[in-house]
A and B are shown apart, each in its own frame.
Chain A
Amino acid sequence: MRVLVCGVGYRFLRDNAVGVYITDTLALQASNGIEFEDLGYHPVGFTQNLEERPPYDRIVFVGAVDRGRPPATVKAYQYDHVLPDVTEVQERVGDSVTGSISLDNLIIVSEAFKALPDDVWIVEIEPADETWGEGFSPEIEAKLPEIMETVWSLTRP
C-alpha cells in the first residue's frame, strides 16, 4: 500500500505549524510505501506533483484548523469528497495562488483538480495559539504524542 502523509501549515506560526512538525518527525520512520511531505506550499503545485507520481492508495492530511472547538481537539475523519460550489472553489484557488497555505484550501483545490485517491483521511487539530513565533502552546505540546499516534495509525492498511 502506498501512503502519503502531508503536513500542512506555516512554520513559525506556533500551533499552525503542528502539521509540518508531525510529518518532519514521522519522516524519520518512513519506510517502503509510506512517504511524508511538508506541504508548506500552495495546492496548485501539490496537485501537479501528485499527477506526476505513481498513484497513492491513501493520502493523510494533518494540520491545524481553527473551527472554534476546545484547543487541542484532535479530529480524524475520512474525506467525503464533497466539493463546495464552483464560486467557492475558484475563491480557494485565488486564495492559494496569492500564497496562502491552509488545510481546507489544499483539500478543496486538490479534489477540484481530481488529484486525490478515494481513500483520503484528514487529521485536524484545533490550535490554541497561531501568533508568530516558534514552539507550541502547552495544550498542543501535551497532545503531540496522541496526534503522532493518530497519524501513524492511519498509515496502516
Chain B
Amino acid sequence: MCFKNLPIEFDAAGNATLKPGAANPYSYIETPAPTPIEDDPERMRELFARNGAVRRVDFDPVTRVAGALAFHTVVDLENRQVLETASMATLFRGYEIILKGRDPRDAIFISSRACGVCGGVHATCSALACEMAFGIHPPPMGVVARNLLLSVEYLYDHPIHLSLLAGPDFSEPAVRETNPEIWERATRTRTTGRAKHGYEFMSELMTDLTPLTGKLYLEGLHYTRLAREAYVLIGGKYPHPQTVVPGGVSTTIDASDLNEIMLRVVKYFDYGRKTAAIWDDISDFFYEVNPRYREIGTRPKSMIEPGQWDDPYADEGTFKNCDDWGRRRWAPPGVIIDGELVTTSLQMLNAGVEEFVEHAFYEEWTGNGQNQRFATDPAGNPLSPYHPWNKETIPKPTATSWKEKYSWSTAPRWDRQAMETGAYSRIYAAALTGGADFRDSPYLNSTGHSMQIELPQAALPNDPIEWSIPETWGAFERNRARAYCILYTAAIAYDNLLIAYDLLRKGGPDAKMSTPYKVPKDHQIGVGLWGAGRGYLTHHLEMDKGVIENYQILTPSTWMASPKDPFGNPGPYEEAVMATPLLENYEKPEDFKGIDVLRAIRSFDPCMPCTTHLHMDDRTITREIISCACGSDGPHEH
C-alpha cells in the first residue's frame, strides 16, 4: 500500500480502487498558509525589538537577466535562522496553451524550446507520449539510440552543474569572502582523494573551483563539450535535436558513429572517478569543519523519479504494461518517502501525482474536485481531478501575496506530499531496490543501501566506486550524489554502446532506427515518462481528430520550486532553506551574503526556464534588503 493520503486502496489482487463511501473522494479543505511576517506588524515589531537583526532578504539566486527564480526570505541574523521562505517563479510561458490544436508531433520540437539546456529530453518525452497515443514503439536500435542520446545529455548536465553552478560556491574566492576561517583551515587540511584527483590540500582544490579561471571549472566546460559532440552524432543538434521522432530516431548509425561516441564516453570513466573523489572531499571537509553543514538544505528524503533508459527488448510501450517495462529500465521508476522506497510501479507513480494552484497564478479548474475528464487511467487506476491528464492550464495573474498567490509554478505533489527529484533520486532509487526492478548491468551493483559502479580501466585504476545512501540528506549530499552520477551514467552509456555494436553486427529488423506509423484520428491519450538530467519529467498528451486536445508538461524544477500546497506543506526549496542554518561568517548584517541559502537552492540543480517556461527582466540579484519589514512595501503588481 503506497498511498496514505489519497483515497486509493488495493484489492486482494493488488488492483487500485477508490475507497468506497466518499462522494467526492479527492476534495479537501484548504489549510490556510501562515500569515507572512511582513503582514503581521505585531510579530515583526516583537522580532525586531528582540534583537534588531531580522531582515527581509529576497534572492534571485542564479540569474542576472533572465530572472529564473525569485526567492523571498526573512532571516534572523543574530540567531542565524531562516524564519520565512517563499519560492516564486515569475512569468508564464504558456507552452500548454500554445500546443493546443496542433499536430502532436509538433510538441517534440516546440517543447524542446522551453529551455536552452534540456531540450533533448523534452523532445524525447514528447515522442514517448506520441508513441503511446499512436500505439507504436521503436525497434531496439531506436531505443538504444535514445538511451545514448539521453545518457550523453546527462553527461553534459552533471559537469555543468557541478563545475559552473554549484562548484563556485565552494571555491577559494567564495570561501575566503564568506568564511575566511574555513579557508585558513583548508590550507592545512590534506585531502583523502589525492590518488584520484591529484590535490594534496583542500585549498588547492578550492582554488581550482574558482569561476572562469580555475582548472576544475575549465575542465567541467571541456567535458560539457565532449558530451555535446557525442550527442550531435545522433541528435543532429543540441539542445534542440532534429532527429527525435515518434517511433524512434530519424537518422542512421554506423560503426564510425558509435566509435566517435565511445571515444568520448570512455573519457568520463576517469572524469567520473575524479569528480566523485572531489565532491567526497568537499563534503567531508565541510562536515569536519562544522557538522552543521549537514543541515544546509536538509529536508526529508522524499523523492520521485520516473526512471529512464529503456530496455531495447521490452517489446512495447503501452500504459497498460508500463509497470513491466518501467522496471526493466536501467534506472528504475521510484517513489521514496522518508528514505523508504514505496513503489517502483509507474502506474502508481503516475496515479499519485496531482498539481495544486492555491498559491499559483492559475485558476482552479475542477470546481473543487467535481469535474474531471478521466476518472481512471488507461489501466483502470483511479485518477485525481488534479492529475495532469485532468489538468487545464488557465492563467490568472494577480497581485503577489506571500499568503495567497505568489508563483507561476504550480504545486505538484505525490500522495499530497512535497517531493524532490534530480540525478540523485535515480541513483538513490536504484540503490534501494537492491538489484530488483531494474535492468541488469555488468557495471552496476545495487546493494540495497549503495550503488557499486565498476567500469573498465582508463588511465586511473579501475577500483570499484561506491555511492552510499547518506544518513542525513542536504545540499552537500545532493552534490555528492550528482558527482557519482557521472560515472553511473557513463556506465549506462557504455552498456548501451556495446548493445548498439551488437545490433549493428547482427543487422535485421532490430537494427532499424524507427518504426512506421500513422497519426490516429480518434481520441487517444499518452504520456512520456522519462527523467531529465535534473530529475522528473512527464508530458501528458490528450489528442483527438489528429490534433492535441490537452498537453501538460511537468518538470523537475516545478516540483522543487513549487509554492506551498493547500495542505500547508512548503515546496522543497522553501522547506530546505527554512532548515538551513546561517553558518556564514559576518559581523554586521550588511556583510551577509546568503551563501548557505544559495548553496541550498543550487544543490537542487535548478532549471527554471522549464518550470513555468518563464522569463523575467528584473536585473537585480539581491532585490531588497531592509532592516525591518515593518515598513516594507505592499504586494508587487505583475
> Which A residues lie at the B interface, using CB under 8 A?
10-13, 16, 40-42, 44-45, 48, 66, 86, 88-102, 104-105, 112-113, 130-134
Q: Which of A90, A96, A105 is in CB contact (< 8 Å) with B168?
A: A90
Cβ–Cβ contact A40 & B116, under 8 A: yes
Binary flags per residue of B224-244, CB closer than 8 Å to A gives 1, else 0: 110010000000001110000
Shortest 8 CB-CB contacts between residues of A and residues of B: A100-B66, A132-B94, A90-B211, A99-B115, A42-B116, A99-B609, A95-B63, A99-B117
Is B53 close to A, CB under 8 A? Answer: no
Q: Which of B66, B95, B160, B228 is the most central at the interface, judged by chain A CB atoms within 10 Å of its CB?
A: B66
**B66 to chain A: which residues have CB within 8 Å?**
95, 100-102, 105
Is B608 close to A, CB under 8 A? Answer: yes
Q: Which of B92, B164, B617 is in CB contact (< 8 Å) with A97?
A: B164
A102 CA / B93 CA spacing, docked (Å):
15
Cβ–Cβ contact A10 & B211, under 8 A: no
Cβ–Cβ contact A11 & B117, under 8 A: no
**B161 to chain A: which residues have CB within 8 Å?**
97
Q: Which of A11, A66, A94 is in CB contact (< 8 Å) with B164?
A: A94
**B221 to chain A: which residues have CB within 8 Å?**
44, 48, 113
Cβ–Cβ contact B68 & A98, under 8 A: yes
Is B118 close to A, CB under 8 A? Answer: yes
CB within 8 Å of A: which of B160-206? 160-161, 164-165, 168
Cβ–Cβ contact A97 & B160, under 8 A: yes
Is B615 close to A, CB under 8 A? Answer: yes
A94 CA / B65 CA spacing, docked (Å):
11
Q: Which residue of A lies closest to B98 (CB)?
A: A12
Cβ–Cβ contact A12 & B94, under 8 A: yes
Is B320 close to A, CB under 8 A? Answer: no
**A12 to chain B: which residues have CB within 8 Å?**
93-95, 98, 110, 113
Q: Other than the known A95-B63, A98-B606, what 20 A-B pairs have Cβ atoms closer than 8 Å? A: A12-B93, A12-B98, A12-B110, A41-B117, A44-B224, A45-B228, A45-B238, A45-B239, A88-B64, A89-B212, A91-B621, A93-B212, A98-B165, A99-B117, A100-B609, A102-B65, A105-B65, A131-B91, A132-B97, A132-B98
Q: Which of A101, A113, A132 is in CB contact (< 8 Å) with B92?
A: A132
Cβ–Cβ contact B621 & A94, under 8 A: no
Chain B interface, >50% SS class: loop
Question: Would you list 24 pairs from A and B whose C-beta atoms are within 8 A, ordered by A residue?
Answer: A12-B94, A13-B93, A13-B615, A40-B240, A41-B117, A44-B164, A44-B221, A89-B211, A93-B212, A94-B168, A95-B66, A96-B116, A97-B161, A97-B164, A98-B68, A100-B65, A101-B116, A101-B609, A105-B64, A105-B65, A113-B221, A131-B91, A132-B92, A132-B95
A130 CA / B638 CA spacing, docked (Å):
13
Cβ–Cβ contact B63 & A98, under 8 A: yes
Is B571 close to A, CB under 8 A? Answer: no
Cβ–Cβ contact B64 & A66, under 8 A: no
A133 CA / B92 CA spacing, docked (Å):
10
A13 CA / B612 CA spacing, docked (Å):
13
Minimum CB–CB distance from B25 to chain A (whole Å) comes to 34
A99 CA / B117 CA spacing, docked (Å):
5
Cβ–Cβ contact B116 & A94, under 8 A: no
Is B303 close to A, CB under 8 A? Answer: no
Q: Which residue of B lies closest to A42 (CB)?
A: B116
Minimum CB–CB distance from B234 to chain A (whole Å) comes to 16
**B118 to chain A: which residues have CB within 8 Å?**
99
Report the count of interface residues on B (CB-CB < 8 A): 43
Minimum CB–CB distance from A133 to chain B (whole Å) comes to 7
A41 CA / B65 CA spacing, docked (Å):
15
Is B527 close to A, CB under 8 A? Answer: no
**B63 to chain A: which residues have CB within 8 Å?**
91, 94-95, 98, 100
Binary flags per residue of B610-638, CB closer than 8 Å to A gives 1, else 0: 10010101000100000000000000000
Cβ–Cβ contact A100 & B94, under 8 A: no
Q: Which residue of B lies closest to A88 (CB)?
A: B64
**B108 to chain A: which residues have CB within 8 Å?**
none
Q: Which residue of B lies closest to A17 (CB)?
A: B113
Q: Which residue of A lies closest to B67 (CB)?
A: A100
A40 CA / B115 CA spacing, docked (Å):
8
A19 CA / B238 CA spacing, docked (Å):
19
Cβ–Cβ contact A100 & B211, under 8 A: no
Cβ–Cβ contact A99 & B110, under 8 A: no
**B94 to chain A: which residues have CB within 8 Å?**
12, 132-133
Minimum CB–CB distance from B408 to chain A (whole Å) comes to 10
Q: Which of B119, B161, B212 is the most central at the interface, judged by chain A CB atoms within 10 Å of its CB?
A: B212
Is B62 close to A, CB under 8 A? Answer: yes
**B117 to chain A: which residues have CB within 8 Å?**
41-42, 97-99
Given A13-B615, A45-B239, do A98 and B608 touch, yes or no (CB 8 Å)?
A: yes
Binary flags per residue of B99-131, CB closer than 8 Å to A gives 1, else 0: 000000000001001011111000000000000
Q: Which residue of A lies closest to B92 (CB)?
A: A132
Minimum CB–CB distance from B405 to chain A (whole Å) comes to 18
Cβ–Cβ contact B607 & A98, under 8 A: yes
Cβ–Cβ contact B211 & A93, under 8 A: yes
Cβ–Cβ contact B93 & A98, under 8 A: no
Cβ–Cβ contact B212 & A42, under 8 A: no
CB within 8 Å of A: which of B266-285? none
